[in-house]
Amino acid sequence: MPRQRTILLVLSAVLALAAVTACGGESADPTTTTAAPATTAAPTTTEAPTPDFKVAVAYDLAGRGDGGFNDLAYNGAEQAAAELGLELTEVTAKAEDTDQDRSDRLRLLADSGHNPIIAVGFTYAGPVAEVAAEYPDVWFGIVDDGTVEAPNVAGLVFAEEEGSFLVGVVAALESETGHVGFIGGVNVPLIVKFEAGYIAGAKTVNPDIEITSTYLSQPPDFSGFNDPAKGKEAAKGMFDAGADIVYAAAGGSGGGLFEAATEGGYLAIGVDADQYYTAAPEVRDVIMTSMLKNVNVATHTFTTQVVDGSVQAGVNVFDLEAGGVGYSTSGGLIDHIVGEVDAYAEQIISGEIAVPSSTS
Amino acid sequence: MALLLLSAVADIANTPDLLSRGAVSASLRFAVPIVLAGLGGLWAERCGVINIGLEGMMIIGTWMGAWAGFQWSPWVGVLAAIAGGAVFGAFHALMTVSFGVDQAVSGIAINVAALGLGRFLSSIFFEGQPGGGISQSPHVGQIANVSVPGLAEVLDPIAELETPVISDLAEIAIGMTTGVSLLTLLAAVLVFLSWWVLFRTSFGLRLRACGENPAAADSLGVNPNRMRYAALTVSGALAGLGGAFLVTVASSIYREGQVAGRGFIGLATVIFGNWMPGRLTIGALLFGFTDALRTRQETTMTALLIVGAVVFAFLTVRAIRTRNRGATFAYAIAAVGLGWWFLGFGVVPSEFVGFAPHLTTLLVLSLAHQRIRPPQGIGVPYRRSEAN
Amino acid sequence: MPAPAIELRGITKRYPGVVANRDVNLRVESGTAHAVIGENGAGKSTLMNILYGMVVPDEGEILVEGATIPMSSPADAIAAGIGMVHQHFKLADNLTVLENVILGDEPTGRVGRIDFEAARARIVELGDHYRIPIEPEALVADLSVGNRQRVEIIKVLYRGARVLILDEPTSVLVPQEVDELLKNLRRLTGDGLTVIFISHKLDEVLAVADEITVMRNARTVAHTRPAEITSRELAQLMVGSELPTPEPRTVEVRPEVGLRLRSVSTRGRGHETSLSDIDLTVRSGEIVGIAGVEGNGQAELIETILGLTDPVSGQVLFGEEDVTEAATSVRRRLGLAYIPQDRHREALLLDAALWENRILGHQMHPPINRGVWIDRKAAREDTERIVADSDVRTPSIEVLASALSGGNQQKLIVGREMAGDPRVLIAAHPTRGVDVGAQAAIWTRLSAVRRAGVAVLLVSADLEELIGISDRILVILRGRLVGEFDPAAIGPEDLGAAMTGADAA
Amino acid sequence: MIETRIERLLLQLIAPVVAIVFAALLAAAILHFTGADAGSVLGEVVAFGTTPASLVAVLNKATTFYLAGIAGAIGFRMLLFNIGIDGQYRLAVFFAAVVGASVSLPPVLHVTLIVVVAMAVGAGWAALAGYIKVTRGVSEVISTIMLNAVATGIIAYLLAPGRLAERVAGSNNIRTPPIPSSGWFPGFGVAGKEVFGFTLVAVALGIAFWILLNRTRFGFELRASGLSLRAAAVSGVNSKRMIFVTMVMSGGMAGLVGIPQLLGSSHQYGLDFPAGFGFTGLAIAILGRNHPLGVAFGALLWAWLERSSQILDLLGVSREIVTIMQATIVLSVVVAYEVVRRVNVRRQQKLVGRSEHEGIDNGAAA
C-alpha cells in the first residue's frame, strides 16, 4: 500500500537524520577534525566484515549540511555503511570545477580503493561515464541522471514531478483563497520538474486555481539555493498577492519561506527531506507537508545492493511506485485529507494520471 | 512626479503590487544590507581607501552574527558581526596603510579569504549543531519588529479608497511604518549619523581631509594613517552589521553564499551616490525596490517597461531640444522598443527579470546627468617621506 | 637680550646617499623677518620641514624661545607656536576654505560637533585684523593661487602661531600679489610675529628681510643683514660663482609661422577658464612669452595647443597645416614639444626607467618608432646621449625616474623634448623649482632652440625670465589676450599691471 | 649594470618564495590547531600534487586560469578593474558553442571560427562597459558588476530547449548542441593523460602579450597610461580611446577563458559548464604582477593548490584551508613585493645620490 510505504520511508528518513545528528554530536568536540566523522573513525573499523568495500559520496556544489538533498544522499549511504561496517568518504565540488576536475575526483576515489562511488548531481554524468570505463570493477551510482550506459553504473533518478503532484493536490485541497505559489531556487530543468508536477497536481484538484511561480536566480548564478532572504521576500510577495500556501524547491532559501509563512500565518510545503523535522523548531508548525525525494533510500539501496551483489546497472527510477518520492504527514496538518491524496497517488502509480515533467 | 508616474503605471499595467505596502517594506529589507555596505564603502573612500573587501566583510558578518546569534541572542549576534567586520576592516587597514598593499588587492584577498574562512569555521563550529552543517548555521533568532502604533489603522481606509496617488501614499506610509525591524531603524539612524559625523564633526572633517589630501592633513597634525585605520574599522563594522541584518532580519540562518554580491552592489551605490550618504541610500533603495518587485511578483516588471518607455520618451524630447542627434536617435529607439515590447508581449521573460535591478542601476547611472566628484586621495597610499 | 624665537643647533639629516643638512645652525630673533636663501638642493626645504616637525633630524636640537622642545610631528610644531605655508599648498580642493583652515584645530561643541559659527567668526576676524580677506564658504578648488596662499596664511594664524615659515611664497605670485604679500609679512612682524621665509628672489629678500641666512651644499655658510650686502654678493655666496642672467636676444626671427591660433575659443568645464577669441602667432625662431596671473587661461591655452581640449571655434595651425581636428599624437608627430610645469604629473613615468621615459612622447618618432614597434636599443642609446649631453647625473639609465632629483629630472625632460627636432615648443614654467645652475642651462637651451628655428611659446610667472628671453610678450587675462609688449621696453611692474588688468581700468 | 640586474631578478624571486613559505606555515599552524598532523598532511598533499596525472590536470587548469589572469592583467595595466571577466567569458563561450555547433567547416577553419566568435563576443560585451565609461564616466567597476548579472540573464534565457539549447533525454542538464569533431582542438598525450591543445595557444598568447607590452608602440602607450594617465595623454595617447581599446582587449582575452574547456573537453555549453573564473583571474593577475610570466607562475600555483587540495577530502581535512592559503599567498606576495620595491627604490636613490655628489665634487674640482 502506497501510504504505508510512505510512512515507512518517512520513518526511515527520520531515523537516518537522528543518526546524523548523533554522529555530528561527537564531532562537535573541537579537537577532532571536521568533515566526516565516519572517516576519522575509519581506522577503528578495519576489522569490518567486508573490507573490500569502501563507500564514497561525491557531492555537487552545495555539499553536505543543506538539511535536504545532499544530506539525504549522505544519510542513505551512511546508514548502509554503518549497517555493513564500511568506511565512508565524502568529497565536494566547487563552482569553477570542470568535468576534468570531477573525473579526477572520481578517479582519486577509485584509486584509493573506494567502491561503490556515489556521485550526487547531474553534472557528474560525463565524468562518471568516463571514469567508469577505466574502473570496470568499481560500481558507480549517479543521482539525478539516467544517461550513463555502462555495465558498472547505476543511474538513480527520481520522479520529482510525481511527488510534487501530490503536494500540489494537498495545496489545492487546503487552499482557502484558491491561490497557491511555487518558489524555485534556480531555474534549471530539475527544479522545473517540481514546478510542473505541482501545477499539474493543483490543477487536477481545482482547474481554476491560481498558481504563481518564481525562480530566485538564473543559472549559473546558483545563489537562489542559498539566499533565504530572497526566499522570504518572494514568499511574502506571494502571500500578499493572495496565496495562502507556497511550495519551495529552493534548497537553503526554503527556510525563508517557512519564516514568511510563520510571520504571516500561512502554510508552507517543504521539499526533499521531511522538513518538519529538519527545519528550525520555531517554524515547523507551518509546514503542512513536504515533498519527499528519498535520495537516502536510493543511496542506501544502491550501497547495500553493491555489497550483496544484487545491484543492476542502468537507470533505477525511484518514482512513487518504488517509494522514491512521496509526501510527508508529520505535524498532522493534513491528516484529514490523506485518503484523498493517496487516491491520487494510486492513480499515478496505475498510470491513470500521467504527470508532466516540464511546464511548457 | 515620479510617484505620479508610478501610480499611473500601476493602474495601466494592472500591477497593484508596484506601490503596495508589502513592496515598500520588502524594498526596505532588500535595501538595508546594501545601504550598510554602501555606508561602509563611503567611510572607507571618504578617507581615501577603496574597500573591495566589503563583500568578504559582510560574509564574516553573517557568519559571526549566526555564530553568536544562535548561541546567545540575535543582539549578541549583531554585536559579534560588527566586531568581526571591524576586525577585517582593521586588517584591510593593516594591509593597505601599514604594508602598502594595493587597496584593490587587499580587498580581493579578503573576499577570497572570507569565503574559505566561512566554510572552514562552519565545519568546526556549525557541523553537528542541530540544523547546522558545513554550509549553514543553526536557526538564529530574529530581531524584533516595531510599528508606529495606530498609524496603519488610520491610513488603511485611505489606502483602500484606491484613489490614485493618495492611496498609494498611504500604502507607502504604511509600508514604511509597519513591521519595521529595529535593525532597519538602526540603519536609518546610521545613515543620518554617518552624514552628521562626516560633515558636522571634527573627526569627520579630519577623516574627509585625509581622503582629499592626506599631506595637508598631516601638515596640520592629523595623522592620515591613523585616520584610515579608524575609517576602515568603521567601514568593516558597517559591512559586518549588513551581514548581521541578513541573518537576523532578512532570514534566520547563516547560509553559505547568502551575501550573494550585496557587498559589491553596496560599493556601486557609493559611486552612484556621488560619495554622499543620502544619495547613496537612494541608490540602494532604487536597487532594493527593483529587487523587491521582481522577487515578489515578476509580472510587476511589465510596469517597469512603461516607466522605461516614458523615461526614454522624456529623454528623447530633451535630446531633441539640445539638438543631440545621436542621443535623440538612441533614446527614441529605446522608448519605442520598450513601448512595443509592453504592447506586443506584455510580459518580461523571467530570465530577464533577474537582472532588472542591475540594468536599472546601470541605466540610471549612464543616463543621469552627473558630475562625479570622488575624494581626490582615493586609492593612493600615504607615506610621509614621499609627501615632501 | 631675550631668547631668540627659534634656534637650531647642529642639525644633521641624512637620506640614503645624500646628506641634506650638515651641522646646520640658525638663530631667528623674535619679531623679525628672516630669509633663508640658497640654491635648490642646498637643504633649505629639508631644514624648514625639520623645523615644522615633518622631518625628524638625525642630530641636533631645536629651541623655541630658549627651551629645547621635541619635534617629531607637525602637531609638536603647532603646539610650540610654529606654522608653515608650504610651497606646494597643502589644501584639500573639495573642502571649503573654512574646513581647510580649521582642520586639526576645530572649535567643537558637544560630542565633537564643529561650531561652524565660531569658526567663521574667528576667520573673518583674523582676516580683518591682518587685512587678509578670505571667503570662508568658498570651495578651495575655485580659488586663485593668491587666494589659496591667503588661506594658507590664515590657516597658520588661526592656530595662533608666533612663528611663520613660508617656503618660496612669492614664486607663484604676480608682482602685485607679491607686494601685497610682502606688505602682509611686514604687518605680521610689526605685530610681534616672527617670519622665516625661503626665497630665490634676492631683491625681495633684500627688501623685506631683517636678517638673512645663506645655505650652500647642506650647510649654513653665511649670516648677514640687507644693509650689509648687495644682491650680487648674496648670489655669489649662494652659488660661489657669478649669477647667470638671461642671454640677450641676438637671433633673427624668421618669416615663416611656426604656430598660429586663429580666433580660438573654448568652453571651460567646471573650474576651467574659457578662452575667448585667441589670436596668436609664433614665428620660427621666435620666443613668445605668455604673461598672466595663474588661472587666467594659460592651462587651457596649452591644452588647446596640445590637442587635449577641443576649441568650440577657431583654428590651430602648425605652419600652414590646420591641426584643429588633429589628435595630440598627430601634433606630436608634426613636431610639437612640451616642457610642462608639473613634471611629475605630465612629463614623467616615475615608476619607469629613464630610457623608458625617453620614449614618452616620442613613441611615434624615429629613431624610436619603427612602424608598430619600439626600438628599445635606439631608445637606450639616445638616453645615454641625453644623459651625457645634458649632464643628467645618474648612475645608469636603468634607474627609475623617481630616484632622480628635480633638477636632473628637468634636464632629462628638456633633453628629450629637444630630441625630436621640434617645430613648436611649449615651455610652461620651465625653471620653476629648478636651482640657479640648472636655470641658466635651461635658458641657454631655449635660446639654442630658438636659433635652430623652433617656434617657442613660453608660459611663465617669472617676469624676469619672460622679459629676459622672450622676443614678444603677450598678456593673458580671463581667457583673453589683452596686450602685447616689447620686452625691451617694459619693466616687471608694467607687466604686472597689465596682468591684473589694472592698466585697462 | 649586469650585476644589479641579477640582484633585481633575485629580489623579484624572493617575494613569491617568502609568500609561499609563509602561507604554508600558516596552513600548517591552522592544521595543527585543528588537531591534524600538519607534516604528514602537507606531505600527502605534495605527494599527490606531483603525480604525473596531477601535473597534467594542473596544466589544463592553469591554462584556463592563465587566460583569465591575462584578461585581468590587461585591464590592470591600464588601471582598469575588469570585474566583468566572468560575464564576458560565459557569454562568449556560450555563443561560441552555439555557433560552433551550427556550422560545419573543415577542422582548422572551424576552430578558428569558434575562437573568433568567442573573442568577439567577449570583446563586445566588455566594449559596452568601456563605452559608457568613456562617454558617460560610469566606473567600469559598477558597470561590469551589473553587466555580469545581465549576461547571466541572457544566457539563462537562450539556454533553454526550443531556443538555442536542447535537453538530453533522461538528464537534468540543458546543453547547446555538441560541436562536431571538426571543431575540436586536439590535445596531446602526456603520461597517459591529455593536455589541452589550447594550452599551447595560451602560451603563444602570453608571449604575444609580452611582445605587445614591451616591444610595440601600442604596448608602450598602454603601460604609460597605466603609470600616469595624464603624462601619457600629454605624450600623445588618446586616453579615452586607450581605455576603450584596453577594455575591448581585456574582454577579448576574457572571451577565451572558457575555450580550452569547450574545445578540449566539453564540446558543448551546458549547465555544468564551469563558472566563476573572473575573480580567480584578477587574483592571479595580481599574484603575477600583471606580467605575462608572473601570471603564468600565478596560474600554475593556483591550479596546483586547487588540484592537490583534492586529496584533503580523503584525509578528512577541510579543503577550505586551501582557499585561506590562496588568500594568504596573494596578500603576502604583495606585501613582499612592496618591501622589495621599497628596498629597490632606496638602493637606487643611494646610487643616484652618490653619483650626484660625485658630479658635484668633480664639478668643484674642474
Mean pLDDT over D155-161 rounds to 86
Residues of C in contact with B375 (CB under 8 A): 94
Looking at the structure, tell me whether residues C468 and C379 fall in a common domain.
no
Residues of C in contact with B218 (CB under 8 A): 54, 74
Interchain pair D272, A122: CB under 8 A: yes
Residue for cell digits 522570504? A232
Element of type H or E holding A240: helix A228-240
Mean pLDDT over C302-310 rounds to 89
- Chains near C with 3+ CB pairs less than 8 A apart are B, D
Confidence at residue A267, expressed as pLDDT on a 0 to 100 scale: 92
Looking at the structure, tell me whether residues C46 and C132 fall in a common domain.
yes
Looking at the structure, tell me whether residues C360 and C266 fall in a common domain.
no
Confidence at residue D193, expressed as pLDDT on a 0 to 100 scale: 77
Judge whether C167 lies within some domain.
yes
Residues of D in contact with A31 (CB under 8 A): 35
Looking at the structure, tell me whether residues C327 and C358 fall in a common domain.
no
- Terminal C-alpha separation, chain A: 33
Mean pLDDT over A245-251 rounds to 91
Confidence at residue D114, expressed as pLDDT on a 0 to 100 scale: 93
Confidence at residue D253, expressed as pLDDT on a 0 to 100 scale: 94
Name the pLDDT band for C17 (thresholds 50, 70, 90).
Answer: low
Judge whether D64 lies within some domain.
yes
Shortest distance, CA C405 to any CA of chain B (angstroms): 13
In whole angstroms, what is the distance from residue B44 CA to residue D267 CA?
Answer: 45
Looking at the structure, tell me whether residues C276 and C184 fall in a common domain.
no
DSSP assignment of C398-440 equals: TSBGGGS-HHHHHHHHHHHHHHT--SEEEEESTTTT--HHHHH
Interchain pair C112, B375: CB under 8 A: no
Shortest distance, CA A255 to any CA of chain B (angstroms): 8
Confidence at residue D123, expressed as pLDDT on a 0 to 100 scale: 95
Looking at the structure, tell me whether residues C328 and C377 fall in a common domain.
no
Looking at the structure, tell me whether residues C26 and C166 fall in a common domain.
yes
Residue for cell digits 503605471? B9
Taking any CB pair shorter than 8 Å as contact, residues of chain B touching chain A are 17, 20, 22-23, 26, 29-30, 33, 122-124, 126-136, 138-139, 142, 246, 250-253, 255-258, 260-261, 292, 295-298, 350-351, 354
Mean pLDDT over D327-335 rounds to 80
Upper half-sphere CA count for residue A305 (Cβ side, 13 Å)? 20
Shortest distance, CA D343 to any CA of chain B (angstroms): 13
Looking at the structure, tell me whether residues C395 and C463 fall in a common domain.
no
Judge whether C246 lies within some domain.
no
Q: In this structure, what CATH number is given to the domain that contains residue D88?
A: 1.10.3470
Q: Which domain holds residue D79?
A: 53-299
**Cβ neighbours for A232, distance < 8 A, ≥ 6 positions apart:** A256, A257, A259, A260, B250, B251
Residues of B in contact with C99 (CB under 8 A): 205, 208-209
In whole angstroms, what is the distance from residue C199 CA to residue C205 CA?
Answer: 7
Judge whether C121 lies within some domain.
yes
For C68, the 3-state DSSP assignment is strand
For C84, the 3-state DSSP assignment is strand
Residue for cell digits 555563443? D95
Confidence at residue B199, expressed as pLDDT on a 0 to 100 scale: 92
Judge whether C1 lies within some domain.
no
Name the pLDDT band for D8 (thresholds 50, 70, 90).
Answer: low
Whether D365 has a pLDDT exceeding 50, the answer reads no
Q: Which domain holds residue C42?
A: 6-239
- Chains near D with 3+ CB pairs less than 8 A apart are A, B, C
Among B290, B295, D171, which Cα is nearest to A248's?
Answer: B295
Calculate what percentage of chain C has a pLDDT beyond 90: 6
Mean pLDDT over A241-252 rounds to 90
Tell me the pLDDT tens digit for each residue of D128-147: 999 988 888 888 888 898 89
Tell me the pLDDT tens digit for each residue of C458-504: 998 777 788 888 889 999 888 888 888 888 888 777 777 777 766 54
Q: Which of D217, D227, D358 sits opposite C369 (nearest CB)?
A: D217
Residues C127, C133, C136, C141, CA torsion sign: negative
Among B276, B320, B304, which Cα is nearest to B363's?
Answer: B304
Tell me the pLDDT tens digit for each residue of D246-255: 999 999 999 9
Interchain pair A99, D265: CB under 8 A: yes
Interchain pair C91, B201: CB under 8 A: no
Shortest distance, CA C148 to any CA of chain B (angstroms): 13
The values of phi and psi at residue B86, to 5°, are: -65, -40
Judge whether C402 lies within some domain.
yes
DSSP assignment of B179-228 equals: SEEHHHHHHHHHHHHHHHHHHHBHHHHHHHHHHH-HHHHHHTT--HHHHH
In whole angstroms, what is the distance from residue C469 CA to residue A56 CA?
Answer: 88
Mean pLDDT over A141-165 rounds to 89
Query: From the candidates A59, A225, A227, which should be mutated to test the interface with B, based on the most B CB atoms within 10 A?
Result: A227
Tell me the pLDDT tens digit for each residue of B110-143: 988 898 888 888 888 887 787 777 788 888 888 8
Alpha helices per DSSP H over chain D: 2-33, 38-49, 52-77, 85-102, 107-136, 140-158, 198-215, 217-227, 229-234, 239-255, 259-261, 277-287, 292-308, 310-315, 320-365
In whole angstroms, what is the distance from residue A79 CA to residue A71 CA?
Answer: 12
Among B236, B196, B265, B240, which Cα is nearest to B44's?
Answer: B236
Looking at the structure, tell me whether residues C69 and C191 fall in a common domain.
yes
Tell me the pLDDT tens digit for each residue of D173-192: 888 888 888 888 888 877 77
Confidence at residue A220, expressed as pLDDT on a 0 to 100 scale: 74
Residues of chain B scoring pLDDT < 50: 386-388
The domain total for chain D is 1
The domain total for chain C is 3
Q: In this structure, what CATH number is given to the domain that contains residue C328?
A: 3.40.50.300
Looking at the structure, tell me whether residues C50 and C158 fall in a common domain.
yes
Tell me the pLDDT tens digit for each residue of D245-280: 999 999 999 999 999 888 888 888 888 888 888 888
Instruction: Walk me through the domains of chain A, giving residue ranges and CATH numbers.
Output: 11-158+295-318 (3.40.50.2300), 160-293+329-350 (3.40.50.2300)
Say if C112 is an interface residue toward chain D (CB within 8 Å).
no
Judge whether D33 lies within some domain.
no
Residues of D in contact with A39 (CB under 8 A): 314, 316
Contact B254, B71 (CB under 8 A): no
Burial of D23: CB neighbours in 10 Å, binned 0-12, 13-18, 19+: buried
Final residue in a domain of this structure, among C408, C435, C459: C408
CB atoms within 10 A of CB A112: 12
In whole angstroms, what is the distance from residue A251 CA to residue A259 CA?
Answer: 14
Bigger pLDDT: B348 vs A6: B348
pTM of the model: 0.85
Contact D269, C395 (CB under 8 A): no
Confidence at residue B45, expressed as pLDDT on a 0 to 100 scale: 92
Highest mean pLDDT among A99-103, C233-237, D100-104, D168-172: D100-104
| Angle separating helix axes A228-240 and A254-264, nearest 10 degrees | 40
Mean pLDDT over D299-320 rounds to 83
Whether A21 has a pLDDT exceeding 50, the answer reads no
Looking at the structure, tell me whether residues C369 and C496 fall in a common domain.
no
Q: Report ipTM (2 d.p.).
A: 0.82
Interchain pair A280, B131: CB under 8 A: yes
Name the pLDDT band for C240 (thresholds 50, 70, 90).
Answer: low
Judge whether D277 lies within some domain.
yes
Query: From the candidates A34, A153, A187, which should be mutated to test the interface with D, based on the most D CB atoms within 10 A?
Result: A34
Whether D124 has a pLDDT exceeding 90, the answer reads yes
Q: Which of D81, D327, D338 sits opposite B112 (nearest CB)?
A: D327
Name the pLDDT band for A103 (thresholds 50, 70, 90).
Answer: confident
Confidence at residue C371, expressed as pLDDT on a 0 to 100 scale: 78
Whether A2 has a pLDDT exceeding 60, the answer reads no
Mean pLDDT over D186-205 rounds to 84
Nearest chain B residue to C56, by CA:
B385
Confidence at residue A42, expressed as pLDDT on a 0 to 100 scale: 38
Contact A69, A295 (CB under 8 A): yes
Confidence at residue C271, expressed as pLDDT on a 0 to 100 scale: 56
A1-10, A230-239, A265-274, C160-169: least confidently modelled range: A1-10
Shortest distance, CA D292 to any CA of chain A (angstroms): 23
The chain-wide mean pLDDT, for chain D, equals 84
Bigger pLDDT: B150 vs D25: D25
Residues of D in contact with A104 (CB under 8 A): 53, 57, 307, 310
Mean pLDDT over D194-210 rounds to 89
Question: Is A touching C (3+ C-beta pairs, cut-off 8 A)?
Answer: no
C-alpha cell at D63: 591554462
Query: From the candidates C40, C342, C349, which should be mutated to test the interface with D, based on the most D CB atoms within 10 A?
Result: C349
Tell me the pLDDT tens digit for each residue of D60-84: 889 999 999 999 999 998 888 898 9
In whole angstroms, what is the distance from residue D296 CA to residue D284 CA?
Answer: 9
Looking at the structure, tell me whether residues C324 and C446 fall in a common domain.
yes
Shortest distance, CA B125 to any CA of chain D (angstroms): 12
- Chains near B with 3+ CB pairs less than 8 A apart are A, C, D
Tell me the pLDDT tens digit for each residue of A46-94: 444 445 788 888 887 666 666 677 888 888 888 888 888 888 888 887 7
In whole angstroms, what is the distance from residue C236 CA to residue C460 CA?
Answer: 25
**Cβ neighbours for B163, distance < 8 A, ≥ 6 positions apart:** none
Whether A183 has a pLDDT exceeding 80, the answer reads yes
In whole angstroms, what is the distance from residue C286 CA to residue C449 CA?
Answer: 9
CB atoms within 10 A of CB D365: 6
Interchain pair D152, A157: CB under 8 A: no
Element of type H or E holding A270: strand A267-272
